[in-house]
Structure 1
């Protein structure tokens, strides 16, 4: 290549005329290289491009997919959009139905509608998120939260992480879901601005200090009441147990008395067993002990015992 350039330079006329010709060739080559460079552009993965024509404006029927594309330099230039979903966290203070201040934070996963990019550029430009999302999120949050009391916002809050393309089930009138209503209304509102919401989730839900303290005090009181009720039930169970035990012992004593009245041999048997236990204890002892029959509770001199 260098040798070809040297040969070309050698064939050029010398002097001012040769310098002018060389300059023209260099300018021509530079113009061609610039034209080729400006005529080609690349749309990266996850992007779409539209054309702006200096005569006709935005071309509504042209949406370029990923890959290499050509354009007319200066006459056309591409406007590239990132159509991948991007998360954004938006916080909004609002009021509940019972006039309690509520601070809600939403995580919104949004992306532009690739089929409506030309009209989106004409209406919103490239910074569509800054222009649209904060306003519609605040609008929807205020309208939805105002339908619920502060306690309902806690008990009926539901987290959803599935994509919004799934059909929305209709919530029962007696148990509406806060997150479901926010998602549904926010998705419908975003469609007016050519936005698709892939996910909407409540990430934070907080109340004023006064209301939080009141809720905590109520919970403590409920726990104390439940504990007191448990202690009362426990005492009742112990009382019933003692009554049943006493009734059982009384019934056993009554039955034993009736049995002894009919047959006194049971007492004699108990005395014999007691004597056996005493003698066994003495036999295993190292001390020498002398016991009479009376000491062994045998009562051998009692005629009624030996009968």
Structure 2
């Protein structure tokens, strides 16, 4: 059975089909390049024939002229820059400092930053500024103070860096001195000093303990002497006589009424009369 073909379809030429396909592809390509999206935490800037436009784009989908405009995205989230710096302390000790700086781009000034500095602003502005300021600050402090007063040193670096980067619309959020590295000789001297301080502290504690124990013994002796003195004040002739009577009474209670026939010495005298007259 022969299928009849629509005459209109027979009239369509192959060249026309190719033209239609090309037109559809062109529309798809144009449509795909007519829109762009700005990621969250970024702002966008139009770039037309190499010229940057100060019209800032917020996160989302935006229209652009295909093949003529591009959109540059600027990260406005907090970013970390880490730098190693070699310098000398005030007492000429070599010191290597590892610094981590958290910074962000002021989104309202993203155009000025990109137009004047460019996308490589971290290598052009941030790292050199950190290097210079860390060297400047560490040169003000002796090596030991860099260790013991780290918060003060970090605060001074942060203050100077904030002023420097503020000129380029960069915001310093936080700065951390990750590590100070000194020479082996200096590390050994610090260790020896700490050992000496610990020994001195131990000796001081031992001396305090001995002093406290001595004071305790003196206080105990004074208390015993005072107790003995008070006891002596309590001893009166009447008390002595009373004690003698108590002793004689106890002896009389134990006596069976018979005097010993043989004695090896003087017979203890018991004043029976005084007992019977009570």
TM bracket, shorter-chain basis = 0.7 to 0.9
Match of 2:9 in 1: 11
Is 1:303 aligned with 2:271?
Answer: yes
Shift of 1:266: 6.8
Q: Which has the larger radius of gyration?
A: 2
Matches of 1:70 and 1:192, distance apart in 2? 32
Deviation at 1:157, TM superposition (A): 2.1
**Cα gap change, 1:178 to 1:271, in 2 (>3 Å):** farther
User: Which residue of 123, 130, 133 corresponds with 1:137?
Assistant: 130
> Is residue 44 of structure 2 the alignment partner of residue 85 of structure 1?
no
TM-score normalised per structure 1: 0.72
Alignment of 1:190-209 (within 5 A): 190-209=165-184
Note the residue ranges of structure 1 that are not aligned, 5 or more in a row. 1-5, 159-176, 276-290, 294-298
Q: Structure 2: give runs of 5+ residues left out of the alignment.
A: 257-266
How is 1:118-157 mapped onto 2 (pairs within 5 angstroms)?
Answer: 118-157=111-150
1:58 lines up with 2:55 in the alignment: no
Residue 34 (structure 1) shift: 0.9
CA 1:88 to 1:259, structure 2 compared with 1: closer, same or farther past 3 Å?
A: same
3-state SS of 1:264 partner = helix
Q: Report deviation, 1:257.
A: 4.0
Deviation at 1:292, TM superposition (A): 7.3
What is the TM-score with the length of structure 2 in the denominator? 0.79
The equivalent residue for 1:106 is 99
Question: Which residue number corresponds to residue 168 of structure 1?
Answer: none
User: How far off is 1:267 after superposition?
Assistant: 4.9
Q: How many positions carry a matched residue from both structures? A: 256
Q: CA deviation at 1:185?
A: 0.7
Q: Could you tell me which residue of structure 1 aligns to residue 191 of structure 2?
A: 216
Pairwise CA distance, 1:154:
2.5
- Paired position in structure 1 for 2:23: 28
Structure 1 residues 109 and 268, CA gap change in structure 2 (3 angstroms): farther
Report the Cα distance in structure 2 between the residues aligned to 1:146 and 1:23, rounded to whole angstroms. Answer: 75
Query: RMSD over aligned Cα, in angstroms?
Result: 3.2
Residues 4-44 of structure 1 show CA distances to partners (whole Å, capped at 9, x for unaligned) of: xx98x953625xxx111111111111111111111111112
Does structure 1 retain, via aligned residues, the 8 Å contact 2:81–2:127? no
> 1:260 corresponds to which residue?
235
